[in-house]
Chain A
Amino acid sequence: MTSTTKQFRPALWTALPRALWPVAVSVVFAALLYFWVAPRIGGFGADLLVNSGIAIILATSLTVVNGFTGQFSIGHAGFMSLGGYTAATIVYYGSYRLFGDFDFHGGLLSWTGAGAFVGPLLTKGDGLFVIACLCGAIVAAIAGWIVGLPSLRLRGDYLAIVTLGFGEIVRVIIQGTPDQLDVTSTDPGLGDLSFPQLLTHLGGALGFSGAPAYSTVFWVWLTVALTLVAIIRLKQSSYGRALLSVREDEIAAAAMGVNITKYKVRAFVFSAFFAGAAGGLYALKVGTINAGELAFQKSFDIVIMVVLGGLGSVSGAALAAVILTLLPELLRDPPSLWPWGLVGAAIVAALIGLFAPRKRGPLLTLVGVCAAWELMRWGAARAGISLSDYRMVIYALALIVIMCVRPQGLFGVREIWDYLPQSWQFWRSTSAIAAPAGAPA
């Protein structure tokens, strides 16, 4: 059978374009967002954009383990924390070693400050930033390997315990590290230690702060785009099918030659890598990171995004990540649905009408959600209570209700484009999952 692959081999000169065209598109996309969209939505909007992007990276990377491979990992924030601290310390202490201070040394693409920026697009400081995030990702991946290798042989519930414990252990260890050093430090002072030694001074329970900020909409969404490309390509490949087969039936997968443990560990390491990168981007948003905030509550947030989006759906996880990032802001002071909310609802209704195989359920849900939203606002105004006090309660209730009412989340294991009618799918993918029954052919 191997001899027949030669006839299918594409021309060698097509290899580089095929590998790299997503990178080019990602750069253009990120630049568009940064230069065109971000200025128009204001500082707060840009913040939300950055936070949503980081959430997308976290949720989609966790989907690889919990969704594709069907494992039970609930310590993802631990990888984020490792990556974030690695990146922050490298940029912080690295800035001092390279430039002699802790200030921003980046170019226009990394400028997070207010006001105009005068300078080149990219500088050495940007190089430091990118390398720092990469190191963060690699450290997280190594941790993923160390944790995954022994524990992925265990029964499902035990993996949950191990990953939960891992997240807490990372937090606790980081919170026990020596104080962060700055220019006023003596014994040891900044000049007394080697670079690796400096990197262990993570600030302990006080957290790490003061690193220059580099994570702009550009870098974050460049990473988002690259992550999505990598993960979608993974899903729509034999590797991805192997992962899905492990999720579906381990014994059958093994009987078909799939090395279960190897695939589980690789998925774990792969997802930890991206979580580490996300952590780096997160830490260098404002230059602050605190392990106490990246404990199991954060891990649970990410798990919720994955499950609400649909276990195994990349687009679902991404969509859920954005919704759940914006929701707390919306719930803080719930705006009225008129006019833009209704426009949005109308668009969603149109999409449901055109593409959803079963229309009644989703449409009723849409109407119900809009009605509940307005009712909630009206009720709160009548009772004279501030909804922002209740936003966590509302969120908690919504979680329980959604789990009971729609356990498969938004898209189940499919992607949003699997709901397009077949004739529309110009990208006749080597997609793993078949279209839902009843979809227009």
Chain B
Amino acid sequence: MSDALLEVENVSIAFGGLKAVQNFNLSLPPGSLYGLIGPNGAGKTTAFNLLTGVYRPDAGVVRLGGRRVNGKRPYKIARAGLARTFQNIRLFGELSVLDNVRVGCQMRHPHGLWSTVLRSPGYVAAERAIHHHSLELLEIFGLQDQSLQQAKNLPYGNQRRLEIARAVATGPKVLLLDEPAAGMNPREKIELMNLIRFIREKFSLAILLIEHDMTLVMNVCEQITVLDHGEIIARGSPTEIQSNPKVIEAYLGQPDA
């Protein structure tokens, strides 16, 4: 338990009178691929926002690699090694595909104004490394041919993949994916599943994903947590969850056609 990459203990938040998330617990060991499911409005994205610092929890602790990150600003949590994608795609639309990934990459190579304007050797080396690494990532994600296109002009499926590529570019230890397969057709979803498993291997990530497509979740995730009305109502392996009466009652999930 203590060597888990991500530890969440009893995290809660309320908005006014609405208890959005209560007593959220999670433990994400290295190399794991877990799922977070629940009906709409259950609090899944709110949980993600709590973990990534967009919201400050009213109570509870979040630990990343043993270090406490709850209450920290989002950029600090990202630097600590927690990356995410968004439910409604938040790409840098006007920037190119390559540049979206480079923004993710450059976090590890910060340079100040002086070295930037003077083009110091350290800066040039960093830029080249960022460029190189970003292109590598784009190849892995199959986006290298569109590297100079504007992100907002990409087809939807590619936009989702780009968002994941950008998140992976930050060199995280833990990756949170918010509905990565939304809007994809079945073939794309299978490709995505394989891609997710591949990047988990290649980049030694622990992945937590929110999804509505039950087939995808049951096939890919090792452990599933079910949220309803902000509270965890079940947790276990896919088979356990599928036959859990509470889950079936709260969430008549159907495999996507």
User: 0/1 per residue, A209-249, Cβ < 8 Å to B?
Assistant: 00000000000000000000110011001111110110011
CB under 8 Å from chain B, chain A span 1-23:
1-2, 4-6, 8-12, 14-15, 18-19
B54 near A251: Cβ-Cβ < 8 Å: yes
B121 near A1: Cβ-Cβ < 8 Å: no
Q: Of B79, B102, B153, which one neighbours A241 at CB under 8 angstroms?
A: B102
Measured CB to CB, the nearest residue on chain B to A4 is B129
Q: How large is the interface on B (under 10, 10 to 19, 20 to 34, 35 or more residues)?
A: 35 or more
Interface 9-residue window, one of B83-91, B183-191, B239-247: B83-91
B121 near A12: Cβ-Cβ < 8 Å: yes
Q: A255-B86, A256-B78, A433-B96 are in contact. List 19 more A-B contacts (CB 8 A).
A: A4-B132, A5-B122, A6-B125, A12-B121, A14-B121, A18-B119, A237-B116, A238-B102, A238-B116, A248-B95, A249-B92, A252-B92, A255-B54, A255-B78, A256-B103, A270-B113, A432-B99, A433-B99, A435-B148
B159 at the A/B interface (Cβ < 8 Å)? no
Residues of chain B contacted by A256 (CB below 8 angstroms): 75, 78, 83, 103-104, 107, 166-167, 170
Residues of chain A contacted by B53 (CB below 8 angstroms): 254
**Cα-based distance from A15 to B125 in the complex (angstroms):** 11
B95 near A432: Cβ-Cβ < 8 Å: yes
B150 at the A/B interface (Cβ < 8 Å)? yes
A266 at the A/B interface (Cβ < 8 Å)? yes
A260 at the A/B interface (Cβ < 8 Å)? yes
A142 at the A/B interface (Cβ < 8 Å)? no
Residues of chain A contacted by B102 (CB below 8 angstroms): 238, 241
User: 0/1 per residue, B48-80, Cβ < 8 Å to A?
Assistant: 000011100000000000000000011100110
**Cα-based distance from A385 to B83 in the complex (angstroms):** 66
B124 near A10: Cβ-Cβ < 8 Å: yes
A241 near B99: Cβ-Cβ < 8 Å: yes
**Cα-based distance from A8 to B96 in the complex (angstroms):** 23
A430 at the A/B interface (Cβ < 8 Å)? yes
Of A2, A242, A252, A435, most B-chain CB atoms within 10 Å? A252
Q: Of A5, A413, A434, which one neighbours B126 at CB under 8 angstroms?
A: A5
Residues A257 and B79 in contact in the complex (CB < 8 Å), given A8-B129, A10-B125: yes
Residues of chain B contacted by A237 (CB below 8 angstroms): 111, 116, 123, 127
Measured CB to CB, the nearest residue on chain B to A12 is B121
A437 at the A/B interface (Cβ < 8 Å)? yes
User: 0/1 per residue, B98-136, Cβ < 8 Å to A?
Assistant: 010011111111011100111111111111111111000
A5 near B74: Cβ-Cβ < 8 Å: no
**Cα-based distance from A90 to B5 in the complex (angstroms):** 59
Residues of chain A contacted by B126 (CB below 8 angstroms): 5, 8, 238
Q: Of B91, B113, B123, B133, which one neighbours A266 at CB under 8 angstroms?
A: B113
Measured CB to CB, the nearest residue on chain B to A441 is B148
B93 at the A/B interface (Cβ < 8 Å)? yes
A286 at the A/B interface (Cβ < 8 Å)? no
Q: Of B84, B150, B171, which one neighbours A255 at CB under 8 angstroms?
A: B84
- In the complex, what's the smallest C-beta–C-beta distance from B47 to chain A, in angstroms? 15
A297 at the A/B interface (Cβ < 8 Å)? no
A336 at the A/B interface (Cβ < 8 Å)? no
SS class, residues of chain B in contact with chain A: helix
Q: Of A10, A234, A257, which one neighbours B117 at CB under 8 angstroms?
A: A234
- In the complex, what's the smallest C-beta–C-beta distance from B162 to chain A, in angstroms? 12
- In the complex, what's the smallest C-beta–C-beta distance from B36 to chain A, in angstroms? 17
Q: Of A8, A241, A249, A254, which one neighbours B124 at CB under 8 angstroms?
A: A8
Q: Of B92, B128, B149, B153, which one neighbours A248 at CB under 8 angstroms?
A: B92
A185 at the A/B interface (Cβ < 8 Å)? no
**Cα-based distance from A11 to B120 in the complex (angstroms):** 11
A253 at the A/B interface (Cβ < 8 Å)? yes
A259 at the A/B interface (Cβ < 8 Å)? yes
B222 at the A/B interface (Cβ < 8 Å)? no
**Cα-based distance from A194 to B102 in the complex (angstroms):** 53
**Cα-based distance from A205 to B119 in the complex (angstroms):** 44
- Which A-B residue pairs are the 4 nearest by beta carbons? A257-B107, A8-B128, A434-B96, A238-B106
Q: Of B94, B125, B131, B133, which one neighbours A413 at CB under 8 angstroms?
A: B94
**Cα-based distance from A255 to B131 in the complex (angstroms):** 20
B124 near A245: Cβ-Cβ < 8 Å: no
User: 0/1 per residue, B149-182, Cβ < 8 Å to A?
Assistant: 1100100000000000011001100000000000
A258 at the A/B interface (Cβ < 8 Å)? yes
B129 near A234: Cβ-Cβ < 8 Å: no
B129 near A258: Cβ-Cβ < 8 Å: no
Residues of chain A contacted by B130 (CB below 8 angstroms): 238
A4 near B131: Cβ-Cβ < 8 Å: no
Could you list 14 A-B pairs, sorted by A, with CB under 8 Å? A1-B105, A1-B171, A2-B109, A8-B124, A14-B121, A234-B116, A241-B102, A252-B86, A253-B92, A255-B54, A255-B86, A257-B107, A259-B73, A432-B99
- In the complex, what's the smallest C-beta–C-beta distance from B86 to chain A, in angstroms? 7
B170 near A233: Cβ-Cβ < 8 Å: no
Residues of chain A contacted by B113 (CB below 8 angstroms): 234, 239, 266, 270
